Amino acid sequence: MTQTKKRGPKTRKRGASVHPLEPLSKVEVAAAVATVKADPRMTGTSRFVTVVLNEPAKAIVLDYTPGSAAEREALVILLDNASGHCVEALVSLTRSVITSWRLLKGVQPAIMLDEFVECEEAVKRSPEFLEALRKRGVTDIDLVMVDPWSAGNYGVEPEEDRGKRLARALAWVRSDPTDNGYARPLEGVVAVVDLNKMEVLRVEDHGVVPLPPEPA
């Protein structure tokens, strides 16, 4: 019997001729990250939010022919947890240089996956949240699932909340470890969390509502 060799996924080399709208390869993402990390403006408290293709001008796309070279750029979004600043950087992958570094004022980048984990841990440490669980008869903290949702900015937020990276953390309680995480919402309890500090600012408790009785 003839054995065939298994081939792994192809890895596109940086600088190879590709269509201008081809998403960044693993190699290109790594190159963009390395270029930004080497820049003196990069702080030790910054994290990468987004590293994606910076799409070229429409004329470049329309003029492209297979085999022709087009400059590849990465759009990088950074968040500095210490200062709360958000930065948008453009990286030329063709030349391995940063071509633009812009501070975005008054905006917040999207909530990141690792912030979901860190936020849940912070909420579960909150004495106010634990008290809200106790009032509802929830004793197994491991069955509680917490999601940070954007708090939004409607121009009427309390003075103490302004300029902070806030999330409204909602919670659900599984009936057992294999239950659908979203089947049994913990109604009336919202934790307001500063995601930069991973600190629960307050827990809003609007009164006990019974949990749905059935698993899902």
Question: Is 0.85 surpassed by the pTM of this model?
Answer: no
Would the CA dihedral through 7, 14, 40, 196 be positive or negative? Answer: negative
For range 93-98, the mean pLDDT = 96
How much is the mean pLDDT over the chain? 90
pLDDT at 4: 52
Whether the pLDDT of residue 16 is over 60: the answer is no
The whole-number pLDDT of residue 144 equals: 97
Q: How far is CA 25 from CA 31, 53, 96, 107, in A?
A: 10, 9, 15, 28
Q: Could you read off the pLDDT of 157-210 as tens digits, one per residue?
A: 666 666 789 999 999 999 999 999 999 999 999 999 999 999 999 999 999 999
For 27-47, write each residue's pLDDT tens digit: 999 999 999 999 999 999 999
Token pair, residue 208, equals 């006990």
If pLDDT is split at 50, 70 and 90, which confidence band does 48 have? very high
Confidence of residue 154 (pLDDT cuts 50, 70, 90): low
Within 8 A by CB and 6+ apart from 71, the residues are 56, 92, 93, 94, 95
Q: What share of the chain in percent tops pLDDT 90?
A: 76
pLDDT of residue 215: 83
User: How does residue 15 score in pLDDT terms, banded at 50, 70 and 90?
Assistant: very low
Residue 24 three-state SS: coil
pLDDT tens-digit series, residues 61-83 = 999 888 888 889 999 999 999 99
In degrees, rounded to 5, the angle at the alpha carbon of residue 98 between the alpha carbons of residues 92 and 102 is 120
